[in-house]
Amino acid sequence: MKIVFAQLLFCCFYASAQDVRIINSANLKCNDTVWVFKPSDFNTKKEYAAVFLLHGHSANYASWSKLADLQKLSDKYQFIIICPDGLKKSWYINSPGNKGWQYETFFMSELIPQMKEAYHIDQGKMFITGASMGGHGAMWLFLRHPDVFLSAGSTSGVLNLRYSGFRKTTIADILGAYSDDNKAFDDYSVVNHLSEIAGLNKQLIFDSGTEDYLYITSRKFREKCDELKIKATYIAQPGGHTGGYWSKSILAHFSFFAGLAGNKND
């Protein structure tokens, strides 16, 4: 029934500026639903910059559409905005112990190629960002594949998995039981992978509300960027770990990406 419903949604949106697509993945135990926002004047003869927008824990592919006017942002900046489903608790990574939970491989080898083919995406202008779990996922995928993305962002991101409130539950389901000795929590924390883009002249944007329990992870991420001389725009501002904060903070990410893409329209 879920597949039929999504197919009906796809039919309804196809004639407009939005599509809902289902990807039958070989790397996941389930299908993945993707909501795509195109500029209202989408032209198949043009190439477009793209923003992959990742949701947080327990959310889904439609969650960002409730926090921000994605169609307005697509029209304003001439971006293709792609909202995949993170399956509530995928953390956007490959599980080292579960061959049926390979989200990173799905993203890079299935999702991106299909989006490129369908939407005339400029391969030199692909961006990725997200909130909370999605902030971790965006930075993880960017740092693992810096040749694919021009830049990345994170808002309220879980930039060190050891600080997450889910470290003993859904993260442990993927990486094994949480403990000081389980080094997987360090190996999969994005703060420990920043050295992989040192010297590549890449730019990042990330932020956190000062009342967010994960504020410390963004502050330490900034310190690591400074140490490695990585060009980073860091924003610390009042706010907590909430959708209300993200609905405002994400706007700076789109403006930042638009500047890098040459689509500035503020």
The residues facing 231 across adjacent strands are 203
Write down the pLDDT at residue 263.
76
Residue 16, pLDDT score: 77
User: Is a pLDDT exceeding 90 seen at residue 11?
Assistant: no
Q: What is the pLDDT of residues 48-84, one digit of tens each?
A: 999 999 999 999 999 999 999 999 999 999 999 999 9
Over range 99-105, report the average pLDDT.
Answer: 94
Tell me the domains of the chain and their CATH numbers: 2-261 (3.40.50.1820)
* Weakest-pLDDT range from 57-61, 97-101, 195-199: 97-101
Which pLDDT value is given to residue 2? Answer: 36
Q: Is 130 helix (H, G, I), strand (E, B) or coil?
A: strand
Q: What is the mean predicted confidence (pLDDT) over 243-265?
A: 94
pLDDT bracket for residue 266 (50, 70, 90): low
Under 8 Å between Cβ of 243 and 215: no
Range name among 12-16, 43-47, 247-251 with the lowest pLDDT average: 12-16
Segment 257-262 shows an average pLDDT of 97
The reported pTM is 0.93
| Segment 231-236 mean pLDDT | 98
- Residue 88 has, within 13 A of its CA and on its CB side, a CA count of 5
Output the CA angle 60-97-186, nearest 5 degrees: 80
Q: Which helix (H) or strand (E) holds 203?
A: strand 203-209
Q: What is the pLDDT of residue 264?
A: 67
Average pLDDT, the chain: 93
Taking residues 36-54, report their average pLDDT: 97
Using the predicted structure, report yes or no on whether residue 203 has a pLDDT greater than 70: yes
Tell me the per-residue pLDDT of 114-132, one tens digit each, with 9 for 90 and over: 999 999 999 999 999 999 9
